[in-house]
Amino acid sequence: MSRICDTILLGMILVCTGGCLGQPVTGQIVVDPQHPAWFMYQGGGPFFMCGPGDPEGFLYRGTRNANGSRSGDQMTLIQKLSGTGANCIYLMAIRSHGGDGDATQNPYVDSDLTKGLDDDILNQWETWFTAMDNSGIVIFFFLYDDSASPFGNDLPAGGQLKPAEATFVDAMVSRFKHHRHLIWCVAEEYGEALTPAHAAKVAERIHQQDDRHHPVAIHQNSGTSFDFNGNPNFQQFAVQWNVSTAEELHAGALAARADVGGLVNINMSEFAGADTGATLRRKLWAIALGSAYAMVLDMDIASTPLADLQDCGRLVAFMQAARCNETVPHDELAREATDYVLADPGSVYIAYSDTGGRLAVLMTAGRYRVRWYDPASGNWTDQGVRAVSDGAQTFASPWDDGIEAAVYLERVLPPGPASDPVPPNGATSVGVQPVLSWTAGAESTSQAVYFGTVSPGSSQGSQEAASYTPGTLHPRTTYFWRIDEVNVFGTTIGPVWSFTTRLLPGDADDDGDVDQEDFGRFQQCLSPPGALPIEPQCAFANLNGDELVDQADLAAFVACFSGADVPADPGCH
């Protein structure tokens, strides 16, 4: 099957799928206020993360130079990851002082916390972070490695961070908060070195200093129960869940999500025995369909098969295309070969099976666009729009049984009706050269315009703009118009509106010309100096709308004068 790059308009974002991996989406990662269990890109579009959970010592790979910087393979790793679609790197700022690194693995001058932060080291980090950010790779930035406690375990008696630690946190935030693809993480396995109160105070400090509002995570030693429920300074629970099967990983993701009540993002940031190839891919999809992100322990980039990184990238591409941020787990809707379901019932369904075949989902009636995705190749197959009734609906995979498959079911709706007509419906005394406008219906892509003197008007063609200029119209004539809203899923016929044009300027007797008889009546309406506003019968002579009939109106009248039985120019005013 060929790999074709389809640009699909989903909601408000454009996504490139079916083989166009590694295309970074612009915009900073932020918390989705409507669906806090998911992150999104600022300005639109769901964000999903899948990629390496190693190397933890990324910042300290290679030989240490005299100025503290490193001669390592960091740029090589970034370049390998870039273009695969896998979109994160797991790294720590401080790995010394009890962490897994040696005594040099911190960003201080001569690795000595008393000498201040080393600009040479931080400048090198900035180079790597910029390369990651430009490639859409998330800087998953731990402040502390597990067991690292450079500033001590407990908070001082006053409950505030020690000045040296506050300076460290502030410096990290100030130096790197400008990156768009960034998630802060207080510590790996925080309980080995920090008390909950200490960890919470670090998270609070990050939020105080980060006016870009990046998400903040914390990694716990094990288990699916979050230690910080209700703390607004944490937006992600980084889970360590060392189980061996896809089904157990899925169950763990569901358990963690239930524990946080869907109010915090879940990241399976460490799980043992991930394996490789199809086994790894099935585990990644089990995690994703549990409404969690996946970072793979021992996926160190350097020794990771390119195909495994691409499998992560294909999962990212699918989830971001499939409006994942609008869904929650709904495995109870699964039927037949379906293993897992994410859904916003009645709107979006994502169903997955690790054996393909016939997938079935319990659905709400409607018309749905049916699209299949091959997790192993990244290919999409569009089966068009299908009407379904309430109940279990079966969809046959376009591929052979035994091949993993995901089906994306998106309810399609015709556009909403046009509204808010200008001129308002039923308006009178409308000028003979109007511009018609309206509010386009939701989800419309074009407008079919009807206009004329017989309801609902005759077709004036299709256009994208929500305005129409009919040209110069006849005076004292009723016109009808209608706007039908159109998109690929149908046409919504609009209401019929009408308006009536006003008299010809200066045509007092409404006989279609401006002649001597009209001039006689005009003279009778001329306002003497200091006159009060005109009488109603003289409204025809108030050509400039200033509530008086004076020399300015006389000049306008002369411009419209046509003579007996000679039609006046309707545009003379």
Tokens of 175: 């130096």
Per-residue pLDDT tens digits of the chain, which is 573 residues long: 222 233 322 222 223 333 333 344 468 999 988 888 999 998 778 999 999 999 999 999 999 999 999 999 999 999 999 989 999 999 999 999 999 999 999 999 999 999 999 999 999 999 999 999 999 999 999 999 999 999 988 888 788 999 999 999 999 999 999 999 999 999 999 999 999 999 999 999 999 999 999 999 999 998 999 999 999 999 999 999 999 899 999 999 999 999 999 999 999 998 878 889 999 999 999 999 999 999 998 899 999 999 999 999 999 999 999 999 999 999 999 999 999 999 999 999 999 999 988 999 999 999 899 999 999 999 999 998 899 999 999 999 998 777 899 999 999 888 889 999 999 999 987 877 899 999 999 888 899 999 999 999 999 999 999 999 999 888 779 999 999 999 877 899 999 999 998 777 777 777 778 888 888 888 888 887 667 777 777 877 877 767 788 888 888 888 888 888 887 776 665
Token pair 């001669």: residue: 71
The count of C-alpha atoms lying within 13 angstroms of the C-alpha of 279, restricted to the half-sphere facing its C-beta, is: 7
Question: In CATH terms, is domain 335-411 a member of 2.60.200?
Answer: no
Token pair 């009536």: residue: 500
For residue 73, the 8-state DSSP code is S
Are residues 83 and 136 in contact, defined by beta-carbon separation less than 8 angstroms? no
CA-angle at 329, arms to 323 and 333, nearest 5°: 105
The span from the CA of 462 to the CA of 447, in Å, is 5
The span from the CA of 197 to the CA of 26, in Å, is 36
> Can you name the residues that pair with 350 across neighbouring β-strands?
342, 408
**Which class is 419-501 in CATH?**
mainly beta
Are residues 86 and 135 in contact, defined by beta-carbon separation less than 8 angstroms? no
Question: How many residues can be counted in the chain?
Answer: 573
Domain boundaries, the chain: 48-321, 335-411, 419-501, 507-573
For residue 117, the 8-state DSSP code is B
Tokens of 66: 């005299």
Which residues, 6 or more positions from 315, have their beta carbon under 8 angstroms from its beta carbon?
48, 50, 281, 284, 285, 288, 294, 375
> Can you name the residues that pair with 52 across neighbouring β-strands?
296
What is the reported pTM? 0.74
Are residues 484 and 447 in contact, defined by beta-carbon separation less than 8 angstroms? yes
**CA quadruple 527, 532, 534, 535: dihedral positive or negative?**
negative
The span from the CA of 514 to the CA of 522, in Å, is 11
CA-angle at 538, arms to 532 and 542, nearest 5°: 80
Tokens of 545: 């709308």
> How many of the other CB atoms lie within 10 Å of CB of 155?
20
> How many of the other CB atoms lie within 10 Å of CB of 233?
18
Nearest to 450, CA basis, from 502, 501, 486, 503: 486
Are residues 432 and 570 in contact, defined by beta-carbon separation less than 8 angstroms? yes
Nearest to 128, CA basis, from 107, 103, 112: 107
Q: What is the DSSP string of 178-202?
A: T-SSEEEEEETTGGGT--HHHHHHH
Are residues 505 and 573 in contact, defined by beta-carbon separation less than 8 angstroms? yes
Identical fold, 335-411 and 419-501: yes
Per-residue burial over 529-550, b = 16 or more CB atoms within 10 Å of its CB, e = otherwise: eeeeebeeebbbbbbeeeebbb
Nearest to 479, CA basis, from 509, 502, 506, 512: 502
Token pair 């322990």: residue: 297
The span from the CA of 394 to the CA of 338, in Å, is 10
Tokens of 259: 């524990």
The count of C-alpha atoms lying within 13 angstroms of the C-alpha of 180, restricted to the half-sphere facing its C-beta, is: 18
Three-state secondary-structure class, residue 558: helix
Three-state secondary-structure class, residue 252: helix
Are residues 59 and 93 in contact, defined by beta-carbon separation less than 8 angstroms? yes
Phi, psi (degrees; rounded to nearest 5) at 562: -120, -25
As a 3-state breakdown, the chain gives helix, strand, coil percent values, each rounded to 5, of 25, 30, 50
The count of C-alpha atoms lying within 13 angstroms of the C-alpha of 195, restricted to the half-sphere facing its C-beta, is: 12
Question: In CATH terms, is domain 48-321 a member of 3.40.47.10?
Answer: no
Whether a cis peptide bond, with omega within 30° of 0, leads into 456 is: yes
Instruction: Name the H helices within 484-571.
Output: 516-525, 551-560
The span from the CA of 96 to the CA of 93, in Å, is 9
Nearest to 108, CA basis, from 98, 99, 118, 100: 118
The span from the CA of 127 to the CA of 133, in Å, is 10
> Can you name the residues that pair with 459 across neighbouring β-strands?
450
Give whole-number Cα distances, 199 to 175, 196, 396, 489, 495, in Å.
21, 5, 50, 51, 60
The span from the CA of 75 to the CA of 484, in Å, is 55
pLDDT of residue 478: 95
Which residues, 6 or more positions from 158, have their beta carbon under 8 angstroms from its beta carbon?
none
Which residues, 6 or more positions from 528, have their beta carbon under 8 angstroms from its beta carbon?
none
Phi, psi (degrees; rounded to nearest 5) at 326: -95, 0
